[in-house]
Structure 1
Amino acid sequence: MSIKFLAEDDRPREKFLLKGKNSLSDSELLAIIMGSGSRDETAVELARKILASVNNNWHQLSLLTIKDLMKFKGVGEVKAISIATALEIGKRRAAQEIPEKPQISSSRNAYDLLKLHLADLRTEEFWALFLNQNNKVIHIAQLTQGGINQSIVDIRILFKTALEHFSTGIIISHNHPSGSLKPSSEDITITKKVKEAGDLMSIQLLDHLIITQNSYLSFADEGLL
């Protein structure tokens, strides 16, 4: 039975998109890797059976050979290779060193990161840096893409992203294609709203940068936060 025929609440891919990867059980993750089950079992049911055979231990599952995996009804060579490949990727990822995260100690540090995304654009975009308690960047994201002279950010999406990455601080930024560094009334209003929302959620707004092709303005440096 293909995943697309399952009840909506049982569709791992849809659940991934709607609720995020952390909402998935181990069997749902394995079901996504396999893609489908057998005639008698859904992908989730088959995944649950496979994991139960190794006491729900991913390491033990990685020790199974292709032939071992193919002993399960509904697991052919292609599925077995897909499972083994996913586990090997996980093993290699665990063995790699985590790259050093850039640390923000000034508005210039933030500008140097954000100008790569914003300086040369012809329309406004809104980006954010998400930082941990040591002011190291753990995520960077484009949040909106606007017209010639405006890019309105959805504060709910901003803080949803911050929560997903366990951020304790954020730096927001947008560009002015006109070349003007003067904050508009909308810029000031959105900064105030983001700061107030952050205060409620214990996520500090550290700065708001306006970026042009050759320069930037920092709300923090200008005492505008």
Structure 2
Amino acid sequence: MSYLIKDLPDSEKPREKFKKYGSDYLTDEELIAIILRCGTKNMSVKDLAIKIKKEYPNLNDLTLSKLENIVGMGEVKAITLLSAIELGKRCLNDENNISIKFNKAENIFLYFKNKIGHLSQENLIAVFLNNKIKMISYKTIFIGTVNMSITHPREIFKEAINNRAVYIILIHNHPSGDVTPSKADINFTNQVLYTGNIIGIPLLDHLIIGKSKYYSFYDNGDLNEKYIEK
């Protein structure tokens, strides 16, 4: 039989603390315990939450496979916890969208580094901006290596038009951590730049993001069709 939160003494029940003091009073482990609801026949849910936090102090590092490798964490518990973490990220993003102006590469990097900087595959994201250079929305356009032969600008501008974007910014990660643009990165960037100038939805920048650093095509003066390499 699994250990349940209800089996704990009242003074140790995270839900009771939540009701009495509010969520700010709870530790990360107690919040995780509330989400998981129950432990295993050999481990209380609170101990399971402590184990998760001890192995992964930064919850942003959690993945489905990592959680499933923790004794006591099955697929259902893992998905439940990851869903709660993702929802929290989205709520924070919604608040940030109101105030963040994407007129500096550093602002873009700070917003997206925790979303894609740690990923093991390249993700290409298009950010759609209004006339005040604030984000309307963003969308992952492609997962894999950025390549003009398989990723076409029309996919980006179709979404830009649907979102009534005035400007766009491209972002993708380099899993290696080396943010130096490849020939394919340069070619694709300038293809999008050229298309955007024709359509009337300019490309303002393209950032390549690593875990702790970035490369901005705009800051480095690379947003120019002449850089397309043959």
Shorter-chain TM range is 0.5 to 0.7
**Matched residue, 1:175:** 173
Q: How does 1:132-151 map to 2 (within 5 A)?
A: 132-146=130-144, 150-151=145-146
Q: How does 1:57-72 map to 2 (within 5 A)?
A: none
Q: Distance in 2 between matches of 1:189 and 1:101?
A: 33
**Matched residue, 1:209:** 207
Is residue 146–residue 188 contact of structure 2 (8 Å, CA) maintained in 1?
no
Q: Distance in 2 between matches of 1:171 and 1:164?
A: 15
Residues 61-103 of structure 1 deviation map (CA, whole Å, 9 limit, x = unaligned): xxxxxxxxxxxxxxxxxxxxxxxxxxxxxxxxxxxxxx72532
Matched residue SS, 1:100? helix
Task: Select between 157-166 and 106-115 the one with higher mean Cα deviation.
Answer: 106-115
Is residue 128–residue 141 contact of structure 1 (8 Å, CA) maintained in 2?
yes
Q: How does 1:57-96 map to 2 (within 5 A)?
A: none
Structure 1: gaps spanning 5 or more residues:
1-98
Is residue 101–residue 137 contact of structure 1 (8 Å, CA) maintained in 2?
no
- TM-score for both structures, normalised by structure 1: 0.53
Q: Distance in 2 between matches of 1:190 and 1:105?
A: 22
Q: Distance in 1 between matches of 2:186 and 2:124?
A: 14
**Matched residue, 1:106:** 104
* 1:193 paired to 2:191: yes
**Matched residue, 2:153:** 155
Matched residue SS, 1:217? strand
Q: Distance in 2 between matches of 1:176 and 1:197?
A: 24
Is residue 101–residue 138 contact of structure 1 (8 Å, CA) maintained in 2?
no
Q: Which amino acid letter does the alignment assign opposite residue 216 of structure 2? A: S
Q: Distance in 1 between matches of 2:198 and 2:130?
A: 17
Q: Distance in 1 between matches of 2:146 and 2:197?
A: 23
Identity of aligned residues (%): 35
**Matched residue, 2:40:** none
| RMSD (Å) for aligned C-alpha atoms | 1.6
* 1:117 paired to 2:112: no
Q: Which of structure 1's runs of 4+ aligned residues deviate more than 6 A?
A: none
**Matched residue, 1:21:** none
Matched residue SS, 1:129? strand
Shift of 1:179: 1.2
Q: Distance in 2 between matches of 1:176 and 1:100?
A: 28
Shift of 1:154: 2.6
Q: Distance in 1 between matches of 2:104 and 2:179?
A: 18
